[in-house]
């Protein structure tokens, strides 16, 4: 069976490697483009959030490329993400694609069902190979996160930002080709060295901005208009609140998020689905770490992020940290995003000057 999956950030490099080496034929999803989004918009309910639409567009593209089985994550808690796999399946079926969807719910929710699906995905694999494949996949994921976070640190300092982009793209390709833990580590090292070799002003102290919000729009540049690059090119250091490996740790292994939720409790003491409670907790944490500002990325109609947004002004006032919310949907234009980012960066720059002068 030919399998495929949604495209999100750097995850296709890891997921493709994993499934291919477990013995599956993989249709690797292409980078989402405007065509992907407009395909999704055409067939999705109007009220659906942008991750739903981009993922639907990706499904339509990979089905045209020959995919027969789609693998996706489920969801729990009061967010409609939990229904999206099934909704996608019905839309695709009505469009004439009788595709099979394997929806991976959090393992502790229905352990038996989870194990049955895992067994199915592992079935073609050679047992002797399993440990190696998983070790390499994990190493790739951790390396990609380290490379990305290093790129975020160095981009605002670099004199020629294009050299950072080039070193990063070449690094991704090296990680993609690596086929053992040793090769992945070497590829990571070579990429980090290439990034550090880019001429930069290491004395410069950039403004520091935390990036929070719904996971898909935070991780996927096609959904957020490449906001990390735009800010980095403006000379701003962006600290992303979540990386792929953390998402896997929190959602698959169910560990590690408690400290973020604990920070949210004075303002929001219950789970509201998606990353809503995390968004609240992360603003508190960025304020405590002395960041200059926070940007919340929220898909239009995303209830968890709308609830979080209604609370953020109180945190912003109490902790004296500016917060900008950007709602994203298919109508959002690049120029509008850039203008709002420029205004926000001006605001936090002035705030820092005032603080330094006092």
Binding residue (CB under 6 A) for ligand SF4 from 16, 36, 67, 80:
80
Burial class (CB in 10 A: 0-12, 13-18, 19+), 322: middle
Nearer to ligand SF4, 134 or 300 (CB): 300
Nearest to 83 by CA among 65, 105, 63, 58: 105
In the range 272-291, which residues lie near ligand SF4 by CB under 6 A? 274
Other beta carbons less than 10 A from residue 170's beta carbon? 14
DSSP letter (8 states) at residue 109: T
Instruction: Establish if 49 lies at the interface with ligand SF4 (CB under 6 A).
Output: yes
Other beta carbons less than 10 A from residue 249's beta carbon? 14
Q: How far is the CB of 91 from ligand SF4 (least distance, A)?
A: 15
Q: How far is the CB of 82 from ligand SF4 (least distance, A)?
A: 9
Alpha helices, DSSP H, located in the chain:
11-21, 34-43, 50-64, 81-94, 111-122, 127-154, 161-177, 181-197, 215-219, 221-224, 227-233, 244-251, 258-264, 276-288, 303-319, 334-357
Q: By the 8 A CB rule, do 9 and 171 touch?
A: no
Instruction: Establish if 213 lies at the interface with ligand SF4 (CB under 6 A).
Output: no
Size of the site for ligand SF4 (CB under 6 A): 12
Instruction: Establish if 40 lies at the interface with ligand SF4 (CB under 6 A).
Output: no
Q: Which stretch binds ligand SF4 (CB under 6 A): 144-152, 153-161, 296-304, 340-348?
A: 296-304
Instruction: Establish if 81 lies at the interface with ligand SF4 (CB under 6 A).
Output: yes
Binding residue (CB under 6 A) for ligand SF4 from 9, 85, 213, 304:
304
Q: Which residues are within 8 A (CB) of 164 and not within 5 positions of it... i.e. 6 or more apart?
A: 151, 154, 155, 158, 195, 198, 232
Instruction: Establish if 303 lies at the interface with ligand SF4 (CB under 6 A).
Output: yes
Instruction: Establish if 87 lies at the interface with ligand SF4 (CB under 6 A).
Output: no
Instruction: Establish if 210 lies at the interface with ligand SF4 (CB under 6 A).
Output: no
Binding residue (CB under 6 A) for ligand SF4 from 139, 145, 214, 228:
214
Nearest to 3 by CA among 65, 63, 68, 58: 68
Binding residue (CB under 6 A) for ligand SF4 from 39, 54, 60, 79:
79
Q: How far is the CB of 83 from ligand SF4 (least distance, A)?
A: 9
Give 196-205 contacts, CB < 8 A, sequence gap 24+: 196/150, 196/154, 197/167, 198/154, 198/158, 198/160, 198/163, 198/164, 198/167, 199/158, 199/159, 199/160, 199/163, 200/154, 200/157, 200/158, 200/159, 201/157, 201/159, 202/157, 204/156, 204/157, 204/235
Q: Which stretch binds ligand SF4 (CB under 6 A): 61-69, 138-146, 192-200, 302-310?
A: 302-310
Q: Which stretch binds ligand SF4 (CB under 6 A): 75-83, 89-97, 283-291, 336-344?
A: 75-83
Binding residue (CB under 6 A) for ligand SF4 from 55, 302, 321, 341:
302
Question: What residue number has its CB nearest to ligand SF4?
Answer: 274
Distance CA 82, CA 357 (A): 50
Instruction: Establish if 299 lies at the interface with ligand SF4 (CB under 6 A).
Output: yes
Residues 130-159, one symbol each (x = binds ligand SF4 by CB under 6 A, - = not), give: ------------------------------
Q: How far is the CB of 222 from ligand SF4 (least distance, A)?
A: 15
Q: How far is the CB of 180 from ligand SF4 (least distance, A)?
A: 36
Nearer to ligand SF4, 90 or 317 (CB): 90
Q: How far is the CB of 237 from ligand SF4 (least distance, A)?
A: 26
Q: Which residues pair with 158 in a beta bridge?
A: 200
Distance CA 104, CA 118 (A): 9
Nearer to ligand SF4, 88 or 239 (CB): 88
DSSP letter (8 states) at residue 8: -
| Binding-site ranges for ligand SF4 (CB under 6 A) | 49, 51, 79-81, 214, 274, 299, 302-305
């Amino acid at each position: 069976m030919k399998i495929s999956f949604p495209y999100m950030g750097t995850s296709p490099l890891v997921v493709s490697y994993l499934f291919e080496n477990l013995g599956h034929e993989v249709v690797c999803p292409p980078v989402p483009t405007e065509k992907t989004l407009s395909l999704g918009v055409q067939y999705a309910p109007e009220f659906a959030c942008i991750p739903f639409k981009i993922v639907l567009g990706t499904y339509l593209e990979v089905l045209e490329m020959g995919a027969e089985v789609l693998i996706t994550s489920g969801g729990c808690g009061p967010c409609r993400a939990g229904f999206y796999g099934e909704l996608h399946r019905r839309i695709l079926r009505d469009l004439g694609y009788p595709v099979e969807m394997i929806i991976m719910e959090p393992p502790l929710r229905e352990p038996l069902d989870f194990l049955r699906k895992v067994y199915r995905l592992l079935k073609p694999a050679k047992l002797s190979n399993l440990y190696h494949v998983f070790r390499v996949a994990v190493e790739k994921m951790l390396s990609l996160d380290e490379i990305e976070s290093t790129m975020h640190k160095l981009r605002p300092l670099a004199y020629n930002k294009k050299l950072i982009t080039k070193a990063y793209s070449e690094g991704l390709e090296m990680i993609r080709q690596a086929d053992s833990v040793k090769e992945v580590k070497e590829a990571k090292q070579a990429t980090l060295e290439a990034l550090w070799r880019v001429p930069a002003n290491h004395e410069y102290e950039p403004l520091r901005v935390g990036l929070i919000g719904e996971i898909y729009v935070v991780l996927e540049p096609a959904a957020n208009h490449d906001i990390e690059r735009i800010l980095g090119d403006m000379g701003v250091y962006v600290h992303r609140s979540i990386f792929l490996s953390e998402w896997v740790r929190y959602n698959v292994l169910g560990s590690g998020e408690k400290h973020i939720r604990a920070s949210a409790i004075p303002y929001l003491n219950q789970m509201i689905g998606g990353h809503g409670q995390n968004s609240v907790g992360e603003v508190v944490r960025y304020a405590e770490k002395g960041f200059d500002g926070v940007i919340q990325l929220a898909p239009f109609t995303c209830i968890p992020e709308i609830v979080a947004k209604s609370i953020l002004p109180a945190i912003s006032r109490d902790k004296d940290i500016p917060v900008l919310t950007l709602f994203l949907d298919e109508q959002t234009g690049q120029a509008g995003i850039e203008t709002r980012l420029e205004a926000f960066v001006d605001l936090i720059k002035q705030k820092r000057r005032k603080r330094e002068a006092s």
